Amino acid sequence: MTTDPSSSVAQARKDLGNRLRQLRRTAGLTGKALAAATGQHFTRISRIEHGVQAPTEANIRDWCTVCGAPDQIPELIATARSVESAYLEWARQSRAGMRRLGDLHSIATYRRTTTFRIHEPTILPGIFQTDAYIRRMLAFWYAFLDAPDDTEATIAMKAEGTATALHPTKRIAVILGEQALRTRRGTLQEHSSQLDHVRTLMRLPFVSVGIIPADAQRYAIASIGFWIFDSNAVALETPTAAIKVTRPKEIALYAKLFDDLRKEARYGYEAHAIIDGVVRGTQATDL
């Protein structure tokens, strides 16, 4: 199974468009009649109904009023707001600093969450990262997004979030691609220290870490990392945006994908052996 990071937003817009279409049809209006009554071009009505274009709050008010359904206005506006908040563009959000990014990776969300299911194929999850690793990651994102440098504030925020997540009352299940361990960010010494930190976290009784070997025969397809927060939401990150999935059926699909990935991962002694192999390779490079 593969997943499209933007599918939740696209589907939610289509669902909202379908609801507006039903209101129009129930009122016995054609698209052109509704367009004339609301002062819009009829092609805009079509784009909204097909989920191609998001309606504004004014659009929704006018639409419901003309269709004789003013009681639907509050709910439809709330739905529209939740759809648009599901997709956060990094470039726009980062203007206030990197520490502001990603509401699902907020300390408040970490406090509410009891079980984290995390898949990262190429990078280490934030709650596993050392300060040195975080600094190397931030250096790229500040330049890439042209964001103001708030490194120290962001590191402090991440430290609080990590302490909140890595609490004995939580359950953390992580599946890593071997590449996440092999990718070096910073000096060889920093990389070695980061791997030691991962091994330390793996010994915590409430943390489960599985590693999918680079040469494993694969069945599941998951090219992007994702975090599942209980059964309430899924967070994904692309180079340009954060995606928040809240539709129950889609969350269930991510949970199924996580279970498929878990079957391919190595645990316990085998997982530690993979890390040991990476460490030996790092040490050999340092000679």
Same domain for 113 and 228, yes or no, is yes
Same domain for 125 and 238, yes or no, is yes
What does DSSP say about strands 207-212 and 226-229: parallel, antiparallel, or unpaired?
A: unpaired
**Phi, then psi, of 256 in degrees rounded to 5:** -65, -40
Same domain for 81 and 108, yes or no, is no
Provide the pLDDT for residue 285. Answer: 67
- Tell me the DSSP string of 11-80: HHHHHHHHHHHHHHHHTT--HHHHHHHHT--HHHHHHHHTTSSPPPHHHHHHHHHHTT-GGGHHHHHHHH
Give a yes or no: residue 125 inside a domain: yes
Q: What is the CATH number of the domain that holds 134?
A: 3.30.870
Give a yes or no: residue 186 inside a domain: yes
Same domain for 49 and 105, yes or no, is no
Q: Angle at CA 247, nearest 5°, toward 170 and 263?
A: 55
Last residue of a domain, one of 19, 52, 85: 85
Q: What is the CATH number of the domain that holds 57?
A: 1.10.260.40
Last residue of a domain, one of 54, 85, 116: 85
Stated pTM of the model: 0.75
Same domain for 115 and 63, yes or no, is no
Give a yes or no: residue 135 inside a domain: yes
Instruction: Strand 171-177: give its sheet, edge to edge.
Output: 87-89, 241-245, 233-237, 226-229, 115-120, 171-177, 207-212
Give a yes or no: residue 140 inside a domain: yes
How far are the Cα atoms of 94, 107, 187, 190 from residue 149, in angstroms, in the given order?
10, 21, 22, 22
* Domain assignment of residue 47, given as a range: 7-85
Same domain for 100 and 197, yes or no, is yes
Between helices 31-38 and 57-66, what is the axis angle to 10°? 110
Same domain for 111 and 162, yes or no, is yes
Give a yes or no: residue 200 inside a domain: yes
The tokens for 196 are 């030691």
The tokens for 106 are 């907020």
CA 103, CA 232: separation in Å to the nearest integer?
13
Dihedral of alpha carbons 198, 245, 53, 63, sign: negative
Provide the pLDDT for residue 3. Answer: 46
Give a yes or no: residue 246 inside a domain: yes
Same domain for 92 and 66, yes or no, is no
Same domain for 116 and 23, yes or no, is no
Give a yes or no: residue 1 inside a domain: no
Cα distance between the two ends of the chain: 43
**Phi, then psi, of 211 in degrees rounded to 5:** -125, 130
117 Cβ contact partners less than 8 Å away, ≥ 6 residues apart? 173, 227, 228, 255, 258
Same domain for 131 and 264, yes or no, is yes
Last residue of a domain, one of 29, 51, 85: 85
pLDDT by position in tens, the chain (length 287): 444 445 566 777 888 999 999 999 999 999 999 999 999 999 999 999 998 888 999 999 999 999 999 999 988 887 787 676 666 666 666 666 666 555 668 888 999 999 999 999 999 999 999 999 999 999 999 899 888 899 999 999 999 999 999 999 999 999 999 999 999 999 999 999 999 999 999 999 999 999 999 999 999 988 889 999 999 889 988 887 778 887 788 889 999 999 999 999 999 999 999 999 998 887 666 65
- The structural domain count of the chain equals 2
- C-alpha closest to that of 259 among 205, 216, 219, 223: 219
Same domain for 163 and 273, yes or no, is yes
Same domain for 153 and 206, yes or no, is yes
What does DSSP say about strands 241-245 and 233-237: parallel, antiparallel, or unpaired?
A: antiparallel
